[in-house]
Structure 1
């Protein structure tokens, strides 16, 4: 593949994803400002928990299936229609299990009846996210994120319209959260129409052998995603149930709101490495087949690019933290400023771990990843349980970076081992 053509494809598809995220981010900023002002710290804290519960399982519903499917379809597109039916069947099955288990677990948490109902309704986001991920396989392989972006933006426009209407009418915050389910379903149906244009036949005829192959092949990545998500999202749940320092004078819901506002901004910063690697991963697979040096050059350029922009994002985030919090949350969220500065100070770590992880997958050594992320998740949970009662959300922000740094060190060691095994 010609270098300039490859670069253009990566750039174009990254830009399409960023454009979509730019629209969704603008809507998220507006929605957050509306919700924080219409419902206050307590209401926004409840909304955050309604979103945090399903978000904990988003990447688990993916279970690494996309990585395996993209790798296979990049080598043989004729399997596209067959993979659609089997991926859809697997995702529906996994989503059903996750929603059921989450709903049962929810009963044992000390939440109000209204909050429990709101979380239960929002658990359907697990399904909509799984459907979105299923269709993105085909856009990723064909480098047609322009089509995916149209569906994504369409869903977010529905979300914004719903939030404006519901907030104006003072509807319960649970319905504000549920509007994301409606937006997700619209995105799915739009993108379903678009993949037909790519030549994918829509079929529900699944094959047990293919399902078994996909499930077993994705198991290491699936476990990695589970542990990674616990590492990344578990602190919000712990903040809602652990005892908190009385000196802050905040309830559990308010503390979650104070933490989740800056964490949303932090997550926005992470879309660049995510979208960039979505575009680069199929190229890494192709370049590995073309030779060692070709793969090495592509990876080197990718990680240098992400490291530089990670540093820039961190500096920018620290400098403009107060402005961002003032715009999104207002005077009630002043404590969020320091939390955001802590989070953005370590954002470069996440820009670097992504390309290393995907190179390990490209080399066929994804079995190294579950153990690494399990250690990171256990460390994160252990430290949060110890330090949240004394330092609340400030501890969670710092611990997020500590666990990611440990993960990065282990990933570097694993990559050296994987590279040596492939090219020794």
Structure 2
């Protein structure tokens, strides 16, 4: 694979994300109307429940082996990746199958639940996207993601007349596996990778030890805990009997999830070069970290402002008038979304410097805060409690990340670098919000609400970008850093 610049990698990934998000949004829009808030909330609660445990397969393994592969380009890391992920695939499939055999947690059919678990866990176990990201050559990921997204939409449309939660789960599981298989097939070494998969199953049956198992498990637990306090909201709303609110919350969080995909894509593109610079030159590391913080802040504020000023329009288009009750929760989650974007450079840095155990403790603290808060407050404040506890959990993560990095990197004042960049961008965001709100007061009685929201969004982004340009907070050398390939 030919290594390309961060900018080109991001562009390829952005195209794929836009295609997949557009297709996903259209499919969800159709599905939410077909099923209604209660059934829509249940199927998303089930998906969220399974998703909480998927980091045990893919999060730690992809992060750890990408970090090792970025250092030495050794394909043995790919073999070790399969050894770990396929073992976890087998274990999780067995655990979930036993659990759903005796549990009546969801009204979805037993067969659909088990088949979905098998498909989704296997798709994660053979997902080699991290290899392309480590090699900083993500064109093929973009192509595969776009193709499978379109296939998924076509299948949704074909089965729409008879759509049920069970059929939807089959379609999602199938397209996830298809995407992972395509990513392997489009690489020249695909035969070698399939051989690795077969050898890994053989190795598991012989109970051979897996190199790097415990470091990977620690990273996986961090990812698990992170998803626990994100996905457990839906599960707990259903558990306490707030099925309608679970539907509203699911619609709001679906919008945030679409944004998270952009953030996750950008993070995965930035991480390999951050790992390389940290291991070679600490000053190059600081330079890149500063740029990544600025990029994260810029995208976070733009996306948050766009959704906030057009929230009614977005909810109406995606889910219909029945879901407008989700807007207050969506606005709370938007603040959480902004914090997640601010934390992007910090999360990548923690991986780069190998602070896996410390990050596990941070996510454990955040997950505990979320779960305890949900158990105490959801019975009284339903979906609003879920949104606020998730926001507080993300604040905990960013504070702990700063503490860990400050103690782990002595040559750079991480806290100073972070605060200096984030506060300046937040100030520009507040100014843009203030001017947009003032403009809204003058126009709200004369324009249709949807037209007004479109105008507000355009004005907000224009003002924010204008302030960045005239202040030169993102310089030409920083832009060129994103354009060149790091050797």
Given that residues 261 and 336 in structure 1 are in contact (C-alpha distance below 8 angstroms), is that contact kept between their aligned partners in structure 2?
Answer: yes
How far off its partner does 1:326 sit? 0.3
Q: Which residue of 330, 353, 377 maps to 1:387?
A: 377
Pair 365,157 (structure 1): closer, same or farther in 2 beyond 3 Å: same
Q: Which residue of 231, 243, 247 maps to 2:229?
A: 231
Given that residues 155 and 185 in structure 1 are in contact (C-alpha distance below 8 angstroms), is that contact kept between their aligned partners in structure 2?
Answer: no
1:330-349 equivalences in 2 (<5 Å): 330-349=320-339
| Residue 43 in structure 1 maps to residue 33 in structure 2 | no
Deviations 1:68-121 (A, max 9, x none): 2112222222x21x3333322321211222232233334565545435554333
Given that residues 308 and 334 in structure 2 are in contact (C-alpha distance below 8 angstroms), is that contact kept between their aligned partners in structure 1?
Answer: yes
Name the Cα RMSD after superposition: 2.5
Rounded to whole Å, the distance in 1 between the matches of 2:55 and 2:13 is 18
How far off its partner does 1:199 sit? 9.6
Given that residues 99 and 126 in structure 1 are in contact (C-alpha distance below 8 angstroms), is that contact kept between their aligned partners in structure 2?
Answer: no
Given that residues 110 and 241 in structure 1 are in contact (C-alpha distance below 8 angstroms), is that contact kept between their aligned partners in structure 2?
Answer: no
Q: Which residue of 238, 241, 256 maps to 1:240?
A: 238
Rounded to whole Å, the distance in 2 between the matches of 1:189 and 1:198 is 10
Q: Name stretches of at least 5 consecutive residues in structure 2 with no aligned partner.
A: 414-487
1:406-417 equivalences in 2 (<5 Å): 406-417=396-407
1:18-33 equivalences in 2 (<5 Å): 18-33=14-29
How far off its partner does 1:36 sit? 1.6
Rounded to whole Å, the distance in 1 between the matches of 2:257 and 2:277 is 30
**In the alignment, which residue of structure 1 is the partner of 2:66?**
70
Kindly tell me the number of residue pairs found equivalent between the two proteins: 406
Pair 271,25 (structure 1): closer, same or farther in 2 beyond 3 Å: same
Pair 197,12 (structure 1): closer, same or farther in 2 beyond 3 Å: farther
Deviations 1:148-191 (A, max 9, x none): 122222222221122112112x2432111210111122212211
TM-score normalised per structure 2: 0.78
Given that residues 306 and 352 in structure 1 are in contact (C-alpha distance below 8 angstroms), is that contact kept between their aligned partners in structure 2?
Answer: yes
Deviations 1:390-423 (A, max 9, x none): 1111111111111110111111001101102999
1:210-289 equivalences in 2 (<5 Å): 212-244=210-242, 252=243, 254-289=244-279
Given that residues 133 and 268 in structure 2 are in contact (C-alpha distance below 8 angstroms), is that contact kept between their aligned partners in structure 1?
Answer: yes
Rounded to whole Å, the distance in 1 between the matches of 2:391 and 2:114 is 30
Q: Which residue of 185, 189, 192 maps to 1:193?
A: 185
| Residue 123 in structure 1 maps to residue 139 in structure 2 | no
Given that residues 86 and 210 in structure 1 are in contact (C-alpha distance below 8 angstroms), is that contact kept between their aligned partners in structure 2?
Answer: no
**In the alignment, which residue of structure 2 is the partner of 1:104?**
98
Deviations 1:106-149 (A, max 9, x none): 4565545435554333223432441453x112211222211012
Deviations 1:302-322 (A, max 9, x none): 012101221222111111111
**In the alignment, which residue of structure 2 is the partner of 1:162?**
155
Q: Name stretches of at least 5 consecutive residues in structure 1 with no aligned partner.
A: 245-251
Rounded to whole Å, the distance in 1 between the matches of 2:412 and 2:355 is 9
Deviations 1:36-85 (A, max 9, x none): 222222221232123222222222211411122112222222x21x3333
Rounded to whole Å, the distance in 1 between the matches of 2:66 and 2:25 is 32
Rounded to whole Å, the distance in 1 between the matches of 2:121 and 2:228 is 19
TM-score normalised per structure 1: 0.89
Deviations 1:217-241 (A, max 9, x none): 2232112111111111111111111
